[in-house]
Structure 1
Amino acid sequence: MEVIRSRSLGRPGTAGTVQLRKRKSKLYSKEGAEAAATAGLFGENAYLVLLAVAFRILNCSLVQTSFVPDEYWQSLEVAHNMTFNYGYLTWEWHQGLRGFTYPLMFAIVYKGLHWIGKDDVFLLIWLPRLIQAVFSGIADIKLYSFVRCMENSNVAKWVFFSQLCSWFTWYCSSRTLTNTMETVLGTLALYYYPLEGSQTKNSTKYLLFVALAFLIRPTAVILWVPLFLYHFSKEQKKINLIIHQCIPVGMLTLGGSVIIDWVYFGKWTVVQWNFLKFNVLQNIGSFYGSHPWHWYITQGFPVIIGTHLPFFIHGCMVAPRRYLVLLVAMVWTILIYSTLSHKEFRFIYPVLPLCMIFCGFSFSSLKRWKKPAIGLLVISNLLPALYTGLVHQRGALDIMSNIQQLCNKENSSLLVLMPCHSIPHYSHIHCPIKMNFLECPPDLEDHDTYVDEADLFYMSPLAWLNAEFYDRKRLPTHLVMFSVLEKEINPFLTTNHYVRTASVFHTHLPEGRIGSHIYLYERQVK
């Protein structure tokens, strides 16, 4: 009885004591690792948090150009419509391909500004971008902290350096794109991913961030398929992982998304399924352009990684073997995206933080040529970052200040004679003047003879305008167009007394329907 009693009480020298000590040791080890990670993040390296956030805020202020229409039309325009009950929703929203989860974040901001009477255009434009920039700064710190806990501060600081030097991250990190938030959430998920040797692993948290990324952009799951399979293969309690973590996280996040979309669509809609069905199974995305299968390999990836490429390749050779699964996930992602006909640089943006990990290993192992390499990386990324952020395609935003002045004129109306969605809409003027533009929804019926309104206009702009405005009473008070169109429709402009009132620079690289400048015309009625 005494032996049994001593074991149950854990007396010195008994088996109960040994087991108790093991449990305590394991518990203290886990708690100690988490405490160390927290202390490192908010203690000795607290200045890095401030540096990262301040850097991304500066980043935000120095990006004054447009990239793609989705940074407005799939976020800010939707949020403006949700908050102020006027605006335009593209065809994806009418078909239930896009969810309201991401725009809801900005709609809440807009509503708060409206309540306090501060919903002026400047804040409506810049506050969402500032919030997105802060999220990106937090992701930068999480990437640093992940590597520091896996390796040491030396490797981590070079990963952090590589991340801050990336010109494409600079270009995208403050934009209100679903791809940007997908990248942020993916980086946060990586911080908790149970990679071998990780001191910050937490399966529930990493699955939660992956699920949130999936809700915002369903293709986000592509990157995480090999990573989850690797995790599943290493997990000893596989049933518990599925039942106690995957299913609850999936039900919570998907259920929340469905409820949010039900409120705004007015019916039950699973936008993630619709998105995959239209863009992957039916390949509707090809309507907006197609590229050869090797485009991401020969152009897309080399462009977004830029001069980090040699350091990335070197890092792949010197990084510890346990990081191989990250490399496999990157290759898998690029190959899967390569099977889709419509390709864009931003689609593979989420793989960049993983690339920076390998670049960090490269720099930490360099001995003789480290200083020249640092100088090369900084200069070669600084130039494209500043040019694309301050110069290239800035006219689409600059012209909005001129259009905003129409709010002060009675009975103003605007017709945008540009490729569809070339400029933002009500989110950048915040007044309900009549604004029309050339539309380009895809043909969901798959008719071979279908031509959208924008293509029909550009077949014969002058004839289209004369036919559309045979009744002069229907003429808009203002027109906005790229400079390349001016000469072709000059007879229409002259006949109807349109006078150019504003001209803003757009790009040094005009191409096709895109001109070097954007013109605003006003009709002078005598």
Structure 2
Amino acid sequence: MAPLQRGLPGGLRVLGLLAVALVPIVVAVRELGRIHPDEVFQALEPAWWRVHGYGVLAWEWREGLRNWALPGVLAAFLKLSEVLGITDPRTYRGMVAVPQFALHAWSLWAVYRFAARRAGPTGGALAVLLLGLSGPVLLFAGRTLSESFSASFLLVAMEALDRPGTDAQARRAGILGGMALGLAVVTRYPSALFVLAALGWLVGARRWRVLAFACVGGLGVALGLGGLDWFTWGAPFHSFLAYVRFNVLSGEAAAAFGASPPEFYAQPLLRAVPLWAWAAVPLSLASLLRWRTLSLPLTCAAVYTAVLLATPHKEERFLYPALVLGLLAAASQLAAALMAIQRPGLRGVLTFSSLWLGFVRTDGYPSQDLRRDQFRAIVQATRGDAKGLLIVNEGLWGSGGFFYIGRNIPWRTCDWPRDAAFQASMRDPAFNRAVTFEGRALPELQAAGFRVVREVGRETILARD
């Protein structure tokens, strides 16, 4: 293994890492939209409810299937925005992104350390660029999805548990790795599969001291979760147990949200994996034959993916944490191979080509419409003297909630002019703003006194006096 330089990298390396970490945050705040409704209604909207006392709480929050750790952190930054007098949704969305930026930067620092142990400092920096600028990470890492937060904690855990060293170093690495694994589970309960895989890997590697202290670190986080649930739900581990009952033991998740065969994930995986990562496959096989050791992140990703394939209810976003760990292993392997090339010219060409291939086929994962223009239109429509809002061609869970409306005004969603919500809004003079997708119900809105204010992509904003 290549030796890791002591201390922090140089100033330029730190600035470069922070710049790479900032890119997906800026993309998410600038473009808005959502990968999945959970991005809003399991994170942003509960935080809004905590701060302002009103909002749309999804059924999981009524039944107690979620814990308040992540919304609580976001609520603190949302409260700070309120104290500072920030009322524009796009601005306080940027404020809420601050802790996620810090977490993502920490995870990229972990990527650097993990790869630098194998490929040296330059190889570590290359791995950060390969992973941090890959299409899936650019899209997901700035989004308030549980998969995004959990994947960042998993990267930190992989680097910590992978560290070689003395007994004292093993103690620090184990505690940090165990805490990071625990926080990955707190932010997303299915990530418990990664915990089991990581602990199994430590057993197989006979790293008993790291294993013991990882359990200590994880137990500390677990006790914190138990206390939080006791305080918020009235019983220790209420949310975790309720989640397991609904999603694992009862089969209600598949009945409520649908079931899919294993091949459901074939196309998303092909679209999501950057082209440079495929080059790491033969390199990883050669390394396995030579050293007969399994990669920790690759082992965890494989175990999780195998369970995911066997789980009836499937969604493309579920792949993301495993995908990120696979990219960590691939980027480190590829960086080590490139740094081993003795000819500088060839090494430079192949390095540049690998980085460029990270941007090829960056669209298509996930395949859903992100509705970026809709969220921007809603934000613009509810400024000024807006007293009520109608959103046409969208249901409640795709709307953006009160978080993106940014004020306590009445609002409704509907699909067609014949819908009761549309008819009631046309009769109610308080509804003086409307947003419609691709011109749906435009004649009916204009007949009710609305006039077109502006176009935002595929969305039309209307207003009436």
Q: Give secondary structure in 1 for the equivalent of 2:262.
A: coil
| Residue range with higher mean Cα deviation, 461-470 or 255-264 | 461-470
8 Å contact kept, 1:59–1:174: yes
Gaps of 5+ in 1: 1-35, 439-457, 506-516
Q: 1:299 to 1:467 in 2, by over 3 A?
A: closer
**1:284 and 2:253 matched:** yes
In structure 2, distance between residues paired with 1:420 and 1:166: 32
Give the C-alpha shift of residue 398 in structure 1. Answer: 1.6
| Aligned with 1:360 (options 332, 335, 349) | 332
Name 2:17's counterpart in structure 1: 52
**Residues 383-422 of structure 1 correspond to what in structure 2 (within 5 A)?**
393-405=371-383, 408-409=385-386, 411-422=387-398
Name 2:263's counterpart in structure 1: 294
In structure 1, distance between residues paired with 2:24 and 2:425: 48
Q: Give secondary structure in 2 for the equivalent of 1:62.
A: helix
Name 1:434's counterpart in structure 2: 410
Q: Give secondary structure in 1 for the equivalent of 2:151.
A: helix
Give the C-alpha shift of residue 133 in structure 1. Answer: 2.2
**Residues 249-288 of structure 1 correspond to what in structure 2 (within 5 A)?**
249-265=217-233, 270-281=238-249, 282-284=251-253, 287-288=256-257
Q: Deviations over 1:250-278 (max 9, x none)?
A: 55323322333444446666212222322
Give the C-alpha shift of residue 358 in structure 1. Answer: 2.5
In structure 2, distance between residues paired with 1:477 and 1:194: 58
In structure 2, distance between residues paired with 1:113 and 1:65: 18
Give the C-alpha shift of residue 186 in structure 1. Answer: 0.5
In structure 2, distance between residues paired with 1:417 and 1:223: 39
Q: 1:265 to 1:468 in 2, by over 3 A?
A: farther
Name 1:480's counterpart in structure 2: 435
**1:504 and 2:456 matched:** yes
Q: Which amino acid aligns with 2:332?
A: G
| Residue range with higher mean Cα deviation, 258-267 or 326-335 | 258-267
TM-score by length of 2: 0.82
Measured on the aligned residues, the alpha-carbon RMSD in Å equals: 3.5
Gaps of 5+ in 2: none
Name 2:57's counterpart in structure 1: 89
Give the C-alpha shift of residue 403 in structure 1. Answer: 2.4
In structure 2, distance between residues paired with 1:192 and 1:463: 58
Give the C-alpha shift of residue 182 in structure 1. Answer: 0.4
**1:148 and 2:116 matched:** yes
Give the C-alpha shift of residue 374 in structure 1. Answer: 3.4
8 Å contact kept, 2:47–2:74: yes
8 Å contact kept, 1:402–1:502: no
Give the C-alpha shift of residue 484 in structure 1. Answer: 6.5
Name 2:187's counterpart in structure 1: 216
- Asked which structure has the greater CA Rg, the reply is 1
| Aligned with 1:316 (options 261, 284, 298) | 284
Name 1:40's counterpart in structure 2: 6
8 Å contact kept, 1:418–1:480: no
Give the C-alpha shift of residue 107 in structure 1. Answer: 0.9
TM-score by length of 1: 0.74
Q: Which amino acid aligns with 1:129?
A: A
Name 1:374's counterpart in structure 2: 351
Q: Which amino acid aligns with 2:293?
A: R
Q: 1:485 to 1:287 in 2, by over 3 A?
A: farther
Identity %: 16
Give the C-alpha shift of residue 502 in structure 1. Answer: 3.4
Q: Deviations over 1:329-367 (max 9, x none)?
A: 222211111122333333222232442333332343254
8 Å contact kept, 1:195–1:322: no
Give the C-alpha shift of residue 237 in structure 1. Answer: 5.4
Name 2:141's counterpart in structure 1: 173
Q: 1:259 to 1:484 in 2, by over 3 A?
A: farther
**1:331 and 2:308 matched:** no
